[in-house]
Amino acid sequence: MPVMFDEATSDCRPDQRDPLALIDADEDVRFLHSLGDTILSDWREKRIWAARGGPVGPGRKPIPARAPINPRTGRLAHVDKPETFGTYDEAVARQAKWPDDEDRQPGVGIVLGPHEGDGLIRAALDLDNVTSWKGEALREIIERFNSHTEMSPSGTGVRVIFTITQETLDALDGQGRTISAGKHVEIALKVKGFVTVTGQPGPKGSAYGVVNTMTTEDVLWLIEDLAPRWKAAQGAADAAEAGDTPERVKDRSGSGCGFPVVGALLREGLDADDVAEVMAAGLDSPEVRKAHPGLWDALDASVQEDAEEACEWWARTDERQRKRCIDKHLREIEARLQNLVETFGDAPEKEDEESGQDGESFLEWMNRNFAWVGGSGQNKIAVLDRRPWLFWNETTFTSFCKSLPKVGKKNAGNWWLEHPKRRTHKRGLGFDPTGEGDPDYLNVWGGWGVEPDPDGDCSMILEYIYNILAEGRQDYGDYIISWLADIVQNVERKPGVALVLRGLQGVGKDTLVQIMKPIIGAQHIVEFAKQEQITARFNANLERALLVHGAEAFYAGSKSTYSTLKALITSDEVLIERKGVDSYMAKSYFRAVFTSNETWVVPVTRDQRRFAVFDVQSTRKDDTEYWEAFYDHIKNGGAAAFLHYLLTWETPEGINLKKPPRTVGLTEQKLLSLQGIERWWREVLFSAEVPGSEGFTDGESPWEASSVRVPCEEVRQSFEAWLRGHRHQGDPLDPREFGKQLSQMCPTMRKVRGGTRKTGRVWQYALPDLDTCRKQFAEFLRVPEEHDIWGSEDDGPDDGDDGDDDREEEG
């Protein structure tokens, strides 16, 4: 039986009352010595140990902190060379020779792989960031494996060390050994490499000191049973905490990120060697752009988004896993092509004979399944039998056509290439969701992603829109649905208004985009996560977009971002810039949705019509169970039913997409966007203090109850003093322009002559009472009467500050 930790043995083990209580990292080496009799005691004399990376002697390059060090020579140990490892005592002795270094954690470790004498294989299970795990997965693994368990060097993970048989290893062939949920949470099954042995006991109740041999059933249980359950629980919980959705928590494992990118490269006509070179160099690298012109721009936006992390996965995975990935996609392509051959029918015996199955001529069959595509620097043959398409060079195409019957004495591919009526798109790929574009382009738009279902149920989606997004108001909900319906009913005509969804993390503000993703197609949705992505020079992904989603990416005070946003939302054309290609104008079909938990999201002027701002309700915040059911609803017919709902939707009377609702959220964006004299005047009205001097009142009543008279120059000087205390709020105004702008915000203000014996007769502003001034300013901003923009005097204006403004300077 393995040594199990429990209360009875707590006197010889560190305090484990907290399930994840850790040992101080500074005690690593001392603790290893103290556990010398128990820590993997059966393996102490086996030559499988190495010291953890550190200094290697004068004149030599330092070794990375996690690398294995040969206990005898102090040089780098190699996992494929058993002679470079030593015993446990030798590794500890080598470690003890090194001076303390704050940048290096001490330790020793073992090499995984074939075990001496018994035919077993040493293996390890790395469980990263267990402190953030949800559910019972950690406890299930500890109980099922029941083998030596300890905390990882980082103190945030758990490592289980065990052995397996060769039969179990063979059963793992083709199975993914890294399961990820999110970017930094994963379960990794390792059968090769070097792992540190910390000696830090694992969670309470875990085995310690003795290693068990796991059965094939145990290991497959981990991969096929526990892993999917763990990913679902982890994804839903992480999504709720991040204000995200389960659909947006991406799987960054090989199968979740790297595999799709490799598949996309193979479909673009690259062979296995080309794929390896591209993944090693980086899909968007200068070398790849030179060797494969047009490749990057041909990839879907979702592939481009995952490219960097896919290449990182490629770099850290072994050759066997890379080959498995490529072979998997090649098998799929082979099966697809075999199916295509089976639909071929009989080729004509002569070139001018056009008879095939189901009345379709041979040429028609070829043109339905293939197209010659130019315009990208390298001519390609597109294989169109199903999506995603394949793209071949002519050599690959004619090689495939050897599996087809000849036409007369000619290869079917050569016959088709030479035929004057072959399907040809000489200008390359294009995007036209109207289906009425230039035939010289091969239209990548393939229609809506789901079939509209008139009998389906989309009640949960409608409830979400009306009650969570639309604040429970019918008119707001009608506007949002009308905006979405306009995408599918009038795809060629943009409304010129973007949706802005503002809310706390975990309330579901990103969910609207996830509803539309299966309808529009992920390849036609572009997501911006950083502000600089909006203004980036190269933007080819926008050419095929129907929806642009900016998630937490926008700073409303940026002038450069604002001008770009304005063009994205309203313009019918977009300037497309690709690397190494002259820029050109393309038709713009995309709408924009911005989501954020910031108070100030977008710049809004008093007469703006570009943003429809809604405050997302928190009624389902962090409700994991609800969101799991919601996404099941989308997947299981909800999206198809909602597409039908949108296609048949009739915009209610009173809803005009070009006139977004005047919501409280929109009003707040206006107030937060005020600058210069408008912002100053609002602060004056909020403070209820007459600008300039104490002023001349009609009688002795305060400004709240009567009009006031204030010397014009003193009012203007008050504004200039405010400007000096607030950066980037514009320049001082001359008296004429100042008076003009002030009268626009307070139209009943009069300019009169008056004064006292002391001051003499001077020009004064006769301001109406405070309440009138405030009402007129609200009317100037086009703020509905029911919106209270003044609040309590104790609150202070919500857009004010202490004089340090970080918005960009005008001009």
Q: How far apart are the first and last CA of the chain?
A: 76
- Alpha-carbon dihedral sign for residues 327, 332, 336, 339: positive
pLDDT of residue 341: 86
Q: Please name the helix (run of DSSP H) or strand (run of DSSP E) that holds residue 486, with its range, or none.
A: helix 474-489
Q: How far apart are CA 325 and CA 627, in angstroms?
A: 32
Low-confidence ranges of the chain (pLDDT < 70): 1-39, 53-66, 98-106, 132, 134-135, 154, 173-176, 180-185, 234-256, 345-359, 376-377, 530-538, 553-560, 579-582, 693-701, 755-760, 792-811
Q: How far is CA 212 from the centre of its chain?
A: 41
Residue 76 DSSP label? B
Contacts of 340 by beta carbon, 8 Å cutoff, 6+ apart: 369, 383, 385
Bridging pattern class, strands 498-502 and 573-578: unpaired
pLDDT of residue 55: 53
pLDDT of residue 235: 60
Give residue 513's identity as a one-letter amino acid code.
V
Q: How far apart are CA 191 and CA 162, in angstroms?
A: 10
Asked if 749 contacts 765 with a C-beta cutoff of 8 angstroms, the reply is: yes
Q: How far apart are CA 240 and CA 508, in angstroms?
A: 8
| CB atoms closer than 10 angstroms to residue 257 | 24
Closest CA to 681 of 611, 765, 807: 765
